[in-house]
Amino acid sequence: MIEGVELAQRRCVRGAKKLDDETLAALRAMLPAWRVEGGELRRSFRFADFRHAIFFVNAVAAIAEREDHHPDVTIRYRDVELALATHDAGGLTENDFVLAAKIDDAG
């Protein structure tokens, strides 16, 4: 059980296990801007324009490379949608929430 941790300060780790319902609920409560949809952790961002959207995507990419955990990214002009999941674990793991928290810090 993870509670009260500073999610954004954790690191993504190899072999993370799919979360149990209780831990999932606790982590979701820590990241209210994100939604769980189709087994993915998703968030939509809107920026002033395309250039700002691309700037953000590059910040996300740098985090993703550092954590070796890569969200799906959709860019529609100034709107960016991110979708996180841990395919190896067959669902959401703590890694997804750690990555989301780091992205929130960058957004």
Give the binding site for its own copies (CB under 8 A).
50-51, 54, 57-58, 61, 64-65, 70, 72-77
Query: Closest approach of Cβ 65 to its own copies, in Å?
Result: 6
The nearer residue to its own copies, 64 or 103, going by C-beta atoms, is 64
Coil, helix or strand at residue 90: coil
The nearer residue to its own copies, 20 or 72, going by C-beta atoms, is 72
Query: Closest approach of Cβ 102 to its own copies, in Å?
Result: 16
Give dist(CA 37, CA 39) in Å, integer: 5
Query: Closest approach of Cβ 76 to its own copies, in Å?
Result: 5
Residue pair 43/35 in contact (Cβ under 8 Å)? The answer is yes
Q: Residue 41: which residues within 8 A CB-CB, separation 6 or more?
A: 31, 34, 35, 83, 84, 85, 92, 96, 97, 100
The nearer residue to its own copies, 30 or 53, going by C-beta atoms, is 53
